[in-house]
Amino acid sequence: MRIVVTGMGIASPIGTGIDPFWKNAVAGVNGIVNIQSFDPAKLRSRIAGEVQGFDPATFLSAKQIEQTDRFTQLALHAANQAMADAGSLESYEPRRLAVSLGSGMGGFSTFESSAARRFQSKSVPPFTVPRIMANSAAAWIATQYGLKGANLTCSTACSSGANAIGMALDLLRSGKADAVVTGGAEACVLPLTMAGFEALFALSTGFNNDPAHASRPFAKGRDGFVMGEGAGILVLEREDAAQKRGAKIYARLAGYGCACDATHIVAPDIDGQVAAMQVAIEDAGMTLAQVDYINAHATSTPLGDVIETKAIKQLFGERAPEIPISATKSMIGHSIGASAAIGSIAAIMTLQTGTIHPTINLAEADPECDLDYTPNTAAQKKVQTALCNAFGFGGNNVSIVFTTL
């Protein structure tokens, strides 16, 4: 059974909508700016990848806005695009239409604001809990479109979106759904969230006066990741059913691999990353020799980028230097649970266009990062099999494989 992607939607710091996002990704446009959504003066990291010009009032009523957190609003915006892109799903029974969404933090904006109000002895909004709950975005998407099948939310930190896409693949393969709306959403450019990551020394703090060069995966002198936000949504179906209804088909979702390090709650481990990639490729019924592009997890942390590089080298051996790699996060920062969904869209567009977007800010690579990261300028290459990596806290490692038809 072949599962295909028939619709896509995105809200990102470098563009909302697939065409603007991809045009800017290929051009290597930077989306990291000084934080505008709140005063970051008390933080050591005062930059982020924020979705610019986002106005939920263009697609939600005032009452709906009151009832939804920003992460849900971003998810709905991307889902609206993906559903319009996929075309009508009316040929499917509503109870055969599922949602599988990922979010690492859920409605944390509401959590922070409501907690602050409570500490000030003020009342909290009546929809505080429904806005905070991690499954609210999936529930709202289902409600908007009458999707009455399985409604799942995965929260595995930075691999949330990738696991959600993998869970969607499993739903379709097992016959528990005929179509699935899937992906990830996150909105945690927030004071408490960022202070928490600062306490772990995970965020970039040395580029507050030069945000354009702060997110620098694999580069010498990188000092941590840049917080980002956004949403990426895919519509998945069986290939035969998609063809029958005349749907446009972007790519095939061929494989999903998931493995836990079981070693440390925040530090990455090579074995788990190797296992996730290997399982995904095996699940796709493919060989290592067939992978010809990797959309890397590549957060721009000193340790993480080295570990991912070593994992790729350990798995692919002599072929590793030949495989083009790129880091979408170099342009948009790290959007936690949405990152792999956005990276998946980048991988799919690479399959579609034969263009590999660059890893920007890579003037000089870390000596331990010695693979082909498509530095600074896009490359042209016919890609038939793309691997997308997502490695998160808790030792959650996920890889997904997309191929041309």
Distance (Å, whole) CA 169 – CA 55: 32
Distance (Å, whole) CA 296 – CA 309: 9
Instruction: Specify the amino acid at residue 363.
Output: A
Structure tokens at 324: 């083009």
- Residue 246, judged by CB atoms within 10 A of its CB (0-12, 13-18, 19+), counts as exposed
Question: Is the CB of residue 273 less than 8 Å from the CB of residue 389?
Answer: yes
Beta bridge partner(s), residue 229: 187
Give the residue from 360, 29, 174 showing the smallest Cα distance to 166. Answer: 174
- Per DSSP, which regions of 83-221 are E strands? 97-102, 151-154, 179-187
Give the residue from 290, 293, 295, 318 showing the smallest Cα distance to 308. Answer: 295
At a CB cut-off of 8 Å and minimum separation 6, what does 154 contact? 100, 101, 102, 160, 163, 164, 167
Distance (Å, whole) CA 193 – CA 28: 27
Distance (Å, whole) CA 212 – CA 361: 8
H/E segment holding residue 197: helix 191-199
Give the 3-state secondary structure of residue 267. Answer: coil
At a CB cut-off of 8 Å and minimum separation 6, what does 389 contact? 162, 273, 276, 277, 294, 295, 296, 297, 298, 308, 340, 343, 397, 398, 399
Q: Which residues are catalytic?
A: 158, 297, 334
Question: Is the CB of residue 179 less than 8 Å from the CB of residue 97?
Answer: yes
Distance (Å, whole) CA 374 – CA 216: 13
Distance (Å, whole) CA 218 – CA 79: 32
The residue behind tokens 């003037």 is 363
